[in-house]
Amino acid sequence: MPSLKKLLLFITLPLYILDQWSKWWIVLNFPAPVRDLEGNLHCYAEVKIPGFFSLSRVHNQGVAWGMGNGSDWAPIVFLFVPLIALTLIRVFWKKGLFNNLFSRIAVALLVSGILGNLTDRLTQGFFLEELKGAPFFHRLAAGYVVDFLDFTIPVVNYQWPSFNVADSCICVAATLLFISGLREEKAKERKKAAASA
């Protein structure tokens, strides 16, 4: 069974670097989103596969599906939620709750995703041109996550909310934790069946 250090070195660190590199590439090569007179945010997309996939620069201060975007509370709340999540992961690891390969890989992916998006929230507000010279906490509160992968589901013509590498890591981790839980339940059922036979 891989140790936490090995998982952090071989899974978390490379994915964290890929996440941050890809976000900075987007920030340096795409114009910032702009708000129109009605307050709607518009992003400029470089379409790669029309009707299916494009790259765009999206500033997400909220959480999944942009919930909390534009609110005063989201930047503060979502600075603390990742710290609480990292603390809980560490506590659960010490208690031995991640005791199989699927759950351990999920932890490595979760840490990568959490750190990737937390880094954005802590830093991106300091690079906004319109906030140059603003007080420290004002710029910190303006932090956002850089999302840039845009997919449209062709059958229903639904545009999936923009996401990034860190979000992908978190989603894969959630899937692995679900699979891990199912496997553990099946293993318990087999043990019960064997004990009662």
pLDDT digit string, tens, across residues 79-117: 889 999 999 999 999 999 999 999 999 999 999 999 999
Residue 65: its pLDDT value, please?
A: 63
In the structure encoding, which two tokens stand for residue 29, read together? Answer: 């090569």
The structural domains of the chain, with segments of one domain joined by +, span 4-192
Placement of tokens 């699979």 in the chain? 179
Q: Could you give the CA distance from residue 124 to residue 140 in angstroms, rounded to a whole number?
A: 8
Which helix (H) or strand (E) segment is 85 a member of? helix 74-94
Find residue 197's DSSP bridge partners: none
Residue 13: its pLDDT value, please?
A: 98
**Which of these is catalytic: 19, 120, 150, 167?**
167
User: Is the dihedral angle over the CA atoms 84, 63, 164, 171 positive or is it negative?
Assistant: positive
**Which of these is catalytic: 19, 120, 147, 150?**
147
For the chain, what percent of residues have pLDDT higher than 70? 94
Instruction: Decide if pLDDT at 76 tops 80.
Output: no
167 is catalytic: yes
Residue 66: its pLDDT value, please?
A: 66
Q: What is the pLDDT of residues 22-73, one digit of tens each?
A: 999 999 999 888 876 665 666 777 778 888 899 999 888 877 666 777 677 7
Residue 135: its pLDDT value, please?
A: 94
Residue 46: its pLDDT value, please?
A: 72
19 is catalytic: no
pTM: 0.90
Max intra-chain CA distance, the chain: 74
